[in-house]
């Protein structure tokens, strides 16, 4: 797949992580992709994306990103992309979703090339994306209705997924009646009900207050454990990355390149107390050293 991307706006909202003397913040890169095996659940190989603005100016957002995510039947997995705002994290997710074409490289899901959006992938954005004129239930059932599923089957499935995100009693309400956290639960249920192979989440909790954000993080962990999903999650919050992730990819400043792969320890209990535990803080420190150490490599 090739061809430059036109008319898109690079960058992501949020607080920016500092760079050092114009160089990538972080320790020297340690990550090298190993793509020797047969295509796994998700393979991204040599992905590069360059935006061309209306004035013809080129902005390189992603450069030569490669990684594999294996299929682990019966085990949910959360893979987090951690890096400074505007580094290209969201661009990687949008390319995997099929929303923007790569300038170079390949993306495969179960060995099949990604050429556009598909039912095997579902995306949850930071901005609330519910249809305001539809009830919560109708929003959740929207994709199933487009597929032509009978109403009785849609109702049974929406009951299940509304219960899983704690919205059963709000099924007949409209988005305007919901809090921010509830609106994101609607988006998550609407994505899950279509049973995608890969769920893509672009800083979905970034606009939420700390208490609601904590609750949504717990919900996401429950979803991962009980629904056997592979979730790709973008954040620039180090604590959130450690709390949610099984695997963390640390990205450079724009253009995004993968500098490090960090496997988080197995935490028996992921609760509020964990965030002050020594083993949790040790992983946080390691990531912060990678992101902010002076004399960082440009990769």
Q: Report the distance separating Cα 198 and Cα 107, nearest Å.
A: 13
Domain segments of the chain: what residues? 40-120+196-293, 128-195
The helix or strand, by DSSP H or E, that contains position 68, with its residue range, turns out to be strand 58-69
Q: What 8-state DSSP symbol labels residue 173?
A: S
Class of domain 40-120+196-293: alpha beta
Q: What is the pLDDT of residue 138?
A: 96
Q: C-alpha angle with apex 70: 69 to 72, nearest 5 degrees?
A: 130
Q: Report the distance separating Cα 220 and Cα 9, nearest Å.
A: 29
Q: C-alpha angle with apex 97: 94 to 102, nearest 5 degrees?
A: 60
Which residues, in sequence order, are bridge partners of residue 60? 50
CB 60 within 8 A of CB 50: yes
Contact partners, residue 35, CB within 8 Å, separation at least 6: 43, 45, 66, 68
Q: What is the pLDDT of residue 109?
A: 94
Q: Which residue ranges in the chain fall short of pLDDT 70?
A: 1-27, 73-74, 293-299
Question: What are φ and ψ of residue 123, in 5° steps?
Answer: -125, 135
Question: Closest Cα partner for 254 from 1, 73, 24, 16?
Answer: 24
Question: Closest Cα partner for 63 from 237, 248, 259, 291?
Answer: 259
Q: What is the pLDDT of residue 10?
A: 39
Q: What is the pLDDT of residue 276?
A: 84
CB 98 within 8 A of CB 113: no
The DSSP result for 80-115, as a single string, is EEE--TTSSHHHHHHHHHTSS--SEEEEEETTEEP-
Q: Report the distance separating Cα 60 and Cα 259, nearest Å.
A: 17
Q: What is the pLDDT of residue 7?
A: 44
Q: Report the distance separating Cα 149 and Cα 75, nearest Å.
A: 28
- Can you give the C-alpha Rg of the chain in angstroms? 19
Residue with tokens 């109403």: 151
Distance of CA 174 to the CA centre of its chain: 26
CB 135 within 8 A of CB 173: yes
For residue 277, whether the previous peptide bond is cis, meaning omega lies within 30 degrees of 0, is: no
* pTM for the full predicted model: 0.84
The helix or strand, by DSSP H or E, that contains position 192, with its residue range, turns out to be helix 180-192
User: Percent of the chain, pLDDT > 90?
Assistant: 50
Q: What 8-state DSSP symbol labels residue 23?
A: B
- By three-state DSSP, how is residue 57 classified? coil
């Amino acid at each position: 797949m090739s061809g430059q991307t036109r008319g898109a706006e690079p960058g992501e909202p949020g607080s920016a992580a500092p760079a050092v003397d114009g160089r990538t913040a972080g320790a020297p890169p340690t990550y090298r992709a190993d793509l020797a095996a047969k295509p796994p659940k998700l393979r991204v190989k040599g992905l590069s994306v360059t935006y061309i603005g209306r004035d013809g100016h080129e902005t390189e957002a992603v450069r030569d990103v490669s990684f594999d995510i294996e299929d682990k039947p019966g085990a949910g997995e959360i893979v987090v992309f951690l890096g400074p705002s505007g580094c290209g994290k969201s661009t990687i997710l949008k390319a995997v979703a099929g929303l923007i074409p790569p300038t170079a490289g390949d993306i495969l899901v179960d060995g099949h090339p990604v050429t556009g959006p598909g039912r095997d992938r579902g995306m949850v954005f930071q901005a609330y994306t519910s249809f305001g004129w539809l009830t919560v239930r109708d929003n959740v059932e929207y994709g199933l209705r487009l597929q032509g599923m009978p109403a009785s089957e849609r109702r049974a499935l929406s009951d299940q997924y509304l219960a899983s995100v704690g919205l059963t009693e709000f099924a007949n309400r409209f988005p305007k009646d919901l809090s921010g956290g509830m609106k994101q639960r609607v988006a998550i249920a609407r994505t899950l009900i279509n049973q995608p192979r890969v769920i893509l989440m672009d800083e979905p909790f970034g606009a939420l207050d700390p208490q609601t954000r904590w609750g949504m993080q717990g919900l996401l962990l429950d979803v991962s454990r009980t629904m056997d999903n592979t979730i790709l999650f973008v954040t620039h919050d180090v604590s959130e990355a450690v709390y949610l992730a099984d695997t963390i990819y640390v990205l450079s400043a724009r253009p995004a390149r993968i500098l490090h792969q960090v496997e988080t320890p197995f935490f028996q209990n992921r609760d509020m107390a964990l965030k002050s535990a020594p083993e949790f803080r040790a992983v946080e420190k390691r990531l912060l050293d990678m992101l902010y150490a002076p004399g960082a490599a440009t990769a």
